[in-house]
Amino acid sequence: MHWAYALKPVRVREYENVRRNREEKGRNVMEKHVKELFTREVLKEAAENFNINESSLKDLEGFQNFVYFGKSNETSVVLRVTHKSHRTEEELLSEINFINYLSDNNVSVSKVIISINGNFIEQIKDGEFYATSFEYSRGRKARIAEESDMFYQRIGKYTGAMHRFSKKLNLTHDLNRRHWHKKELLINMKKYLPEELSYVIDKYEILKKELSRLPKNTDSYGIIHGDLNHGNYLNVDDDVLFIDFDDAEYSWFVSDIAIPLFYEIPIPWVVDGKQRLEITKRYYYNFMDGYVKENTIDNTWLKLIPDFINLRQYGVVSAIYRSYDFNNYNNWSDWDKEALKFYLNNIKNDVPYIEMDFCR
């Protein structure tokens, strides 16, 4: 099946402001007591374990982890410090094993760096934190709706390769990573959402039951990236590099197709009607053109893309109510306000995120 689709890139500049707004809010995601525990001494110990010059460290303002750019001799690296409440050491090691496995099979990922002690993970502050390090790429974050057809094809190609190798991994390893329904934002949705949004929780439970009935076999279910979006794949001279496997989880492979779609489709407040659909088609058809060169996926699964887009929508609503300051709602960006209205209206009235046939 030929998926390629030609359309000129469209500038959607509103998203650049949205990204900055989200990154600003993302700094407040971690629990207050975790931030208080993360001292300069913790950062120094982590950097020393990976031979990173402390004076070179620059805060990259991670969401769930403390993430820094740094220099090890003349090599640019990323230092990530994770609190034990976010991930166990076993979960981190499984993430690293998955990244190394993909790298060994020529999937374009940011490689893991070994510490001066010969370890992938170092315990910091007597095991209160864990430090890991990765190669730093010279690439840039992708721009929504503005990249080339080739770039989108390569995202699909590497995603397809990742899933093909994940199928092989299913047969030999059982990695210590959480399954899709154990995601923190979904488990704690009831805690984050106000009582008047109980319908969101009720509808999520219905979707969860429906998805739970889907088959889980080697060809359809395995370890995936779990958070493919324009911030987690870099453009390196029109080639793609996947980064940030912190959300790697066991789920259906189709979820890794639906999630980037969720983030690439503009909300109607930004672009509506035919242009919104054309942006969606250009990304999706080019993505799938690359994907099917590396992996096969049945139309039965592609028909379920709207359900998995919806699943991500529930997670994002939960994240908004967890992390945004509703006492300061009047100072939110117009995009944030309109996006939340859009998501809630979709959920309440069973409106598809986008009307499109994904089996073309």
State the DSSP code for 166. H
Burial of 110 (0-12, 13-18, 19+ CB in 10 A): buried
Name the residue among 58, 28, 23, 30 with its Cα closest to residue 141. Answer: 23
* Predicted pLDDT at 316: 97
* Predicted pLDDT at 321: 95
Structural domains of the chain, ranges and CATH numbers in brackets:
31-136 (3.30.200.20), 141-349 (3.90.1200.10)
Name the residue among 205, 214, 95, 225 with its Cα closest to residue 160. Answer: 225
Alpha-helical segments (H) within the chain: 14-26, 32-37, 40-49, 89-104, 149-172, 184-187, 189-192, 198-212, 255-264, 273-291, 299-302, 305-323, 334-349
Q: What is the pLDDT along the chain (360 residues), one digit of tens a residue?
A: 555 555 556 556 555 455 445 544 444 456 677 888 999 999 999 999 999 999 999 999 887 899 999 999 999 999 999 999 999 999 999 999 999 999 999 999 999 999 999 999 999 999 999 999 999 988 899 999 999 999 999 999 999 999 999 999 988 888 999 999 999 999 999 999 999 999 999 999 999 999 999 999 999 999 999 999 998 999 999 999 999 999 999 999 999 999 999 999 999 999 999 999 999 999 999 999 999 999 999 999 999 999 999 999 999 999 999 989 999 999 999 999 999 999 999 999 999 999 999 997
pTM: 0.92
Cross-strand bridge partners of residue 78: 69, 134
* Cβ–Cβ under 8 Å, residues 125 and 42: yes
